[in-house]
Amino acid sequence: MAAPEHRTGERWEPTSEFGWTSKAYDLLEQDLLRAEVALVDGVVTTRVWGCCPRCAGRIDDRQVPTVVGDFTSPRGMADADAAEVLPPVVVVDVTCGCGAAHVDSPEGTTGCGVSFRVELVADSASGPGTP
């Protein structure tokens, strides 16, 4: 499926209504939005990239999420061994950062203002996890 056209005329609105999370999951199923969680040198990292569920702009969000508990591994532990300490589900909150200044956006702000949530399930042995 082709990516929808970026709607830069979409007014900026700081919203996190659940409907945007639902739309993000639809985009994940259509492969228009992608997400992964990985463990690199004992550090949990996430990446969500593709179409914004509101304005369809290209986003690429990378985070080192804060998790409850001690999920760090000793230095020098191989990632395959360290994956055993990866939390089973990592919740990532993403805000549009499409790079476009939308109508009514605060000065210096890019993106349409929408925030949505993606839950990533860690795949402990075979590499990055997926939604």
Per-residue pLDDT tens over the stretch 41-71: 778 889 999 999 999 999 999 998 765 555 5
Per-residue pLDDT tens over the stretch 5-44: 999 889 999 999 999 999 999 999 999 999 998 887 778 8
Tokens linked to 116: 């949505």
Confidence of residue 127 (pLDDT cuts 50, 70, 90): very low
The predicted model scores a pTM of 0.77
Buried b (16+ CB within 10 A) or exposed e, 68-94: eeebebeeebeeeebbebbbeebebeb
Question: Which has more confidence, 118 or 41?
Answer: 118
Closest to 86 measured CA to CA, from 34, 118, 121, 36: 121
8 Å CB contact between 43 and 63: no
Side chain identity at residue 42, one-letter code = G
Using the structure block, give the residue that is written with the tokens 């492969």. 31
Cβ-in-10-Å burial (0-12, 13-18, 19+) of 50 comes to: buried
pLDDT at 98 over 90: yes
In the chain, helix, strand, coil percent, each to 5?
15, 35, 55
